[in-house]
């Protein structure tokens, strides 16, 4: 019953079911893969199956008291740390709090499950504290670390964990997940096109006003060179709809930049004669008319957009980063002229 909640991750599902069936449960797991593809959801499903008192061999029964408690997150032996999309840092206090609870064993041999979401956001002190538990896990304890950027997890921590790799989903699977969440087919389809195989990202985009917002920001972005960069930057940062929470504002700006990067990639592909694949044909057409069919140029724009998204994550003000980007592009585009011929090497 529970594993059926996971869509499009046959590899992890197979591995975890096998672990449950054979009873060979590792002390530490590292669930790694892109954001929003079901890692945390799977971790909770696996945790439930580990804690279940029912008859199931490789899944939870979803009916016993342990399952019900785990599902509503009140099971005393299920500990979740660092959960959330906007988590900037997992701190040592949170790790220590769980370790304290782990040390109060409720029963001899009782299973305990710790899920560390955003394990790639643990600071070094937190990671080193957690390492102690990974090195000598209390009997019956299983730690599941969830990370989109495993290289940010300390090597010493990584090497103590059994890796479980998650992948981006096929667009059809993303659409199916979204329809399962109650979205209309048309909206689910449009979001699935934007979400790069990640249902979680699709839902985050929806909360930010996509898919409609995608076209708005793309058109605004293409005003570079004929409107005030500061005004464009303010609009790209969300204008009046800008989230008041700083972490949210950062995330919204990053999604906007990823969306623009997507546009730049499409323009690059279309510049060498390929077909834009993702329903952005109109905007891509406008982009090419304004700034030319020049794959190198679009490649640079793409890189600059992604760099800016990175900068914004590193605590720089959203406005400053966007304005820097727009000023750079304005200068670059002006120096190249409004619509140069395609570079001869590519045609
Ligand atoms: Zn159960």
Q: Tell me, in angstroms, the distance from the centre of ligand 1 to residue 2's CA.
A: 10
Q: Tell me, in angstroms, the distance from the centre of ligand 1 to residue 52's CA.
A: 4
Q: Tell me, in angstroms, the distance from the centre of ligand 1 to residue 133's CA.
A: 27
Residue pair 130/157 in contact (Cβ under 8 Å)? The answer is: yes
Residue with tokens 């140069």: 340
Q: Tell me, in angstroms, the distance from the centre of ligand 1 to residue 161's CA.
A: 26
Q: What torsion, rounded to 10 degrees, do the Cα atoms 272, 275, 277, 279 define?
A: 110
Residue pair 142/112 in contact (Cβ under 8 Å)? The answer is: yes
Q: Tell me, in angstroms, the distance from the centre of ligand 1 to residue 119's CA.
A: 27
Q: Is the pLDDT of residue 346 over 70?
A: no
Q: Tell me, in angstroms, the distance from the centre of ligand 1 to residue 325's CA.
A: 53
Which has more confidence, 325 or 247?
Answer: 325
Q: Tell me, in angstroms, the distance from the centre of ligand 1 to residue 26's CA.
A: 20
pLDDT digits (tens, 9 = 90+) for 209-266: 898 888 899 999 999 988 999 999 999 998 877 878 888 888 889 989 998 998 999 9
Which has more confidence, 167 or 84?
Answer: 167
Q: Is the pLDDT of residue 142 over 90?
A: yes
Most confident of 4-13, 28-37, 327-336: 28-37
pLDDT for the residue numbered 309: 93
* Helices of type H across the chain: 10-22, 39-51, 65-71, 92-103, 124-135, 155-158, 171-180, 185-194, 199-207, 212-221, 229-236, 246-271, 281-291, 295-313, 318-335
Q: How confident is the model at residue 275 (pLDDT cuts 50, 70, 90)?
A: low
Q: Tell me, in angstroms, the distance from the centre of ligand 1 to residue 177's CA.
A: 25
Q: Please compute the mean of the pLDDT values over residues 51-78 and round it to a whole number.
A: 91
pLDDT for the residue numbered 87: 82
Q: How confident is the model at residue 208 (pLDDT cuts 50, 70, 90)?
A: confident
Residue pair 116/90 in contact (Cβ under 8 Å)? The answer is: yes
Q: How far apart are CA 97 and CA 83, in angstroms?
A: 14
Q: How far apart are CA 235 and CA 258, in angstroms?
A: 16
Residue pair 65/36 in contact (Cβ under 8 Å)? The answer is: no
Residue pair 203/183 in contact (Cβ under 8 Å)? The answer is: no
Q: Is the pLDDT of residue 339 over 90?
A: no
Write down the pTM of the prediction.
0.78
Who contacts 314 (Cβ-Cβ below 8 Å, separation ≥6)? none
Q: Tell me, in angstroms, the distance from the centre of ligand 1 to residue 68's CA.
A: 7
pLDDT for the residue numbered 204: 86
pLDDT for the residue numbered 234: 92
Percent of the chain with pLDDT over 90: 62
Average confidence score pLDDT of the chain: 89
- Give the residue among 136, 126, 70 at the shortest CA–CA distance from 98: 126
Q: Is 337 left (phi over 0), alpha (psi -120 to 50) or beta?
A: left
Q: Tell me, in angstroms, the distance from the centre of ligand 1 to residue 48's CA.
A: 7
pLDDT for the residue numbered 338: 53
Q: Is the pLDDT of residue 67 over 80?
A: yes
């Amino acid at each position: 019953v529970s594993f059926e909640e996971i869509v499009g991750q046959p590899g992890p599902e197979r591995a975890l079911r096998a672990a449950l069936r054979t009873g060979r449960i590792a002390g530490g797991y590292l669930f790694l893969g892109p954001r929003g593809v079901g890692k945390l959801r799977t971790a909770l499903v696996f945790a439930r199956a580990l804690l279940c008192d029912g008859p199931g061999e490789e899944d939870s029964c979803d009916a016993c008291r342990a399952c019900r408690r785990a599902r509503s997150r009140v099971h005393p032996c299920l500990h979740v740390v660092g959960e959330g999309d906007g988590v900037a840092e997992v701190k040592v206090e949170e790790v220590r709090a769980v370790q304290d609870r782990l040390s109060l064993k409720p029963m001899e041999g009782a299973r305990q499950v710790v899920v560390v979401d955003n394990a790639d956001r643990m600071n070094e002190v937190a990671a080193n504290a957690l390492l102690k538990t990974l090195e000598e896990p209390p009997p019956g304890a299983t730690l599941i670390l969830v990370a989109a950027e495993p290289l940010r997890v300390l090597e010493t921590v990584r090497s103590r964990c059994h890796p479980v790799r998650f992948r981006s989903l096929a667009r059809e699977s993303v659409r199916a997940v979204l329809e399962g969440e109650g979205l209309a087919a048309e909206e689910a389809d449009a979001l699935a096109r934007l979400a790069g195989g990640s249902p979680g990202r699709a839902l985050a985009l929806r909360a930010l006003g996509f898919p409609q917002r995608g076209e708005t920001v793309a058109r605004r972005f293409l005003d570079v060179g004929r409107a005030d960069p500061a005004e464009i930057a303010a609009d790209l940062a969300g204008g009046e709809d800008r989230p008041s929470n700083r972490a949210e504002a950062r995330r919204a700006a990053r999604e906007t930049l990823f969306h623009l990067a997507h546009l730049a990639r499409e323009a690059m592909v279309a510049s060498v004669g390929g077909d834009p694949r993702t329903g952005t044909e109109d905007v891509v057409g406008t982009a090419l008319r304004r700034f030319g069919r020049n794959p190198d140029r679009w490649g640079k724009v793409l890189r600059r957009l992604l760099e800016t998204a990175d900068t914004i994550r590193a605590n720089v003000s959203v406005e400053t980063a966007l304005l820097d980007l727009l000023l750079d592009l304005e200068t670059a585009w002006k120096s190249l002229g409004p619509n140069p011929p395609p570079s001869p090497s590519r045609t």
